[in-house]
């Protein structure tokens, strides 16, 4: 069984986390991986109903997603988490707990996120109907050393997804596309690479 891993997308509301995560998941499925995408909003509705937006409740929701990712990853699945996850210390806890963890910072200026505002979050804040919006009246702590940074205000979703996939290849989580298409399993690929290395070809 191939070893699984977790790809964690973090960024502001409307930055494009779920959009890019879905494209990455689609490509991984096409490469023969088992994949599960855990979206922060969906998990809130189904696993964390009743939680508020205090730091403690935000952390609890993120840690619940991370726990599921850990279980999936250790069973050969690529777990993709897409949640604001605004606090560095909580993301670091996930990294330490999960192990095979790739952090993707979905960078997008607040003004662009506010223009998109797919869910009406920023509008609700302006109208005084809601509060505690990460990056506005609540903290959002940018990652300091993410494996991948994508700029959804400058790059298309497809370009962002390709950047993530390239990073996963470079980090050794994925076989390069040409090898992935060769018909070899991951185990066979590693044996082949080892043999070619012993012969001095690579």
Please identify every residue annotated as catalytic.
Answer: 85
- DSSP at 138: B
- DSSP at 100: S
SS3 label, residue 6: strand
Question: How far, in whole angstroms, is CA 27 from its chain's centroid?
Answer: 14
Cβ contact 95:50 at 8 Å: no
- DSSP at 132: -
SS3 label, residue 29: helix
Token digits of residue 71: 């279980």
Angle at 142 between CA 166 and CA 151, to 5 degrees: 45
């Amino acid at each position: 069984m191939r070893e699984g891993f977790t790809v964690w997308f973090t960024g502001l509301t409307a930055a494009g986390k779920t959009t890019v995560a879905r494209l990455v998941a689609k490509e991984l499925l096409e490469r023969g991986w088992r994949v599960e995408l855990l979206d922060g909003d969906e998990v809130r509705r189904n696993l964390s109903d009743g939680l508020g937006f205090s730091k403690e409740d935000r952390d609890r929701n993120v840690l619940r997603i991370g726990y599921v990712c850990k279980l999936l990853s250790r069973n050969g699945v690529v777990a993709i988490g897409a949640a604001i996850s605004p606090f560095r210390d909580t993301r670091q806890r996930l990294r330490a707990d999960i192990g095979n963890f790739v952090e993707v910072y979905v960078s997008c200026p607040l003004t662009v996120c506010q223009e998109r505002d797919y869910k009406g979050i920023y509008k609700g804040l302006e109208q005084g109907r809601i509060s505690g919006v990460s990056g506005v009246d609540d903290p959002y702590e940018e990652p300091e050393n993410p494996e991948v940074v994508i700029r959804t205000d400058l790059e298309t979703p497809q370009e962002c997804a390709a950047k993530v996939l390239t990073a996963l290849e470079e980090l050794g989580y994925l076989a390069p596309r040409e090898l992935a298409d060769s018909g070899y399993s991951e185990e066979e690929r590693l044996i082949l690479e080892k043999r070619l290395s012993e012969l001095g070809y690579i």
